[in-house]
Amino acid sequence: MTWQFGPYRVDGSIARGGMGEILRAYDTRHDRVVALKLLAADLAADEEFRDRFKREAHAAGRLREPHVIPIHAYGEIDGRLYLDMRLVEGSDVGSLLAAHGPMRPADAVAIVEQVAQALDAAHAEGLVHRDVKPSNILVAPNGFAYLVDFGIAASLRASEKLTSTGYAVGTLAYMAPERFDDGPVDHRADVYSLACVLYQCLTGAKPFSGETAASLVNAHLHQPPPLPTAVRGEVPREFDRVVARGMAKEPADRYASAGQLARAARQALTSVTAVPPVAAAPRRARWPYVLAGWGCSRWPRGRWPSRPGCGPSRGSPSRSRCRRPWPYRPRRPRRPRPPPRRRSSRWRRPNRAGTPRPCRPRRCRPGGARRSPTRASSAAPGASRRSGTTWSRTTPTRTACGSRRSPRPSAARSWSARTRTPRGTRSTATRT
């Protein structure tokens, strides 16, 4: 539903808060889409608040920091105070935490660094935001962060204080302890709120949980700062120190500026916490293991310590004078088995014609006579009655192959097979 508000055509609502609402509108005079912030109607009736609003809007318009959304115009139309700001497409940090849970430490540090730049620029101009919280930090799709809602910032240069109405400015969950007293408030109150935002980005929860305003005020005044690692164990422990110092009860104990807080957070992200030393077990002697390892490395080559008295030779320091290592003695290599002997192809049985047996190296006896059977006739002396074979003493001769064989026996030297005359004697008679 669209409706007209002066020169602005309102197209829809973006967000709504305790002090008013932010609308999406179209500026017909400058032909652009803007974010229009309308304050509550009862606030415009307060003269003190109207004066404070004009001072703060004029001071915020002087800022030229990229992380601060610029204010185009401000004023009053039909009894309603408004702010004309640049429209940023994105989501606030509070919505991101509710939708996706706690951020990674690197993403949380990146957002805190950008917000710290905007706060340092505002503090340099004498402005205190006084309402730093996740819902006032917008994050564009490219990760660029903006700090919005400078409408409740107070000028430090103003001598008068416009707080007589008793209106509690800011959100209680992120307010510094000095905000609850009548003491002076400076830029270190924004440092406290930024440390609360860092804690919520790391853990996804507010620093102090309370159902009532009294419980929140008591927690900010008396309870110690919470530790991120107590809620989320994977957060580096260095962030505990950063959050504890940023949320210190005394302003003098905090960081001097928002940029110093951001640098400490970046250092906590990149540093590694030292692990406390653990009592070491008693060390054992290493020389047995070293000696065993040296022996195993020398085993394949068979090099063991030489015998006593055997040192390196003069020619080569690496070679020992001992021929064989001690006490290791390698086995002798087994001799290869010779191939089986083949029987001579020249061997055959003697024929019946009395032809001498061919050369047979196994039966050749060097230096001795052999008896060779011959076929004799029945009239020849010394003939055998059974086989007709006579035995004669022959003189061995050399054959063509180099072995000895007996020649054909002669009748004059025939021997009787049945007489069995001793070898070497001559017989003068034969037995018939």
Long-range contact list for 217-225, CB < 8 A, 24+ apart?
217/172, 217/180, 220/172, 220/175, 220/176, 220/177, 220/180, 221/177, 221/180, 221/249, 225/195
Scored b (16 or more CB within 10 A) or e, 273-302 reads eeeeeeeeeeeeeeeeeeeeeeeeeeeeee
CB 262 within 8 A of CB 112: yes
Determine if residue 429 is left, alpha or beta; phi over 0 gives left, psi from -120 to 50 gives alpha, anything else beta: beta
* Bond from prior residue into 327 cis (ω within 30 degrees of 0): yes
State how far the Cα of 26 lies from the Cα of 11, in Å rounded to an integer. 7
Burial class (CB in 10 A: 0-12, 13-18, 19+), 264: buried
Distance in angstroms (rounded) separating the CA atoms of residues 77 and 421: 167
How far is the C-alpha of 83 from the C-alpha of 62, rounded, in Å? 14
Spatial CA neighbour of 392 closest among 375, 379, 409: 409
Local structure of 182: helix, strand or coil? coil
Amino acid at 50: R
Positions marked active-site? 131
- The DSSP 8-state label assigned to residue 36 in this structure reads E
Q: Which helix (H) or strand (E) holds 99?
A: helix 93-100
Residue 65 CB contacts under 8 Å (≥ 6 apart), including other chains: 117, 118, 121, 122
Q: What is the DSSP letter of 284?
A: P
Token pair 């790391």: residue: 202
H/E element, 24: strand 20-27
Label residues 155-188 b or e (16+ Cβ within 10 Å = b).
Answer: beeeeeebeeeeeeebbbbbbbbbbeeeeebebb
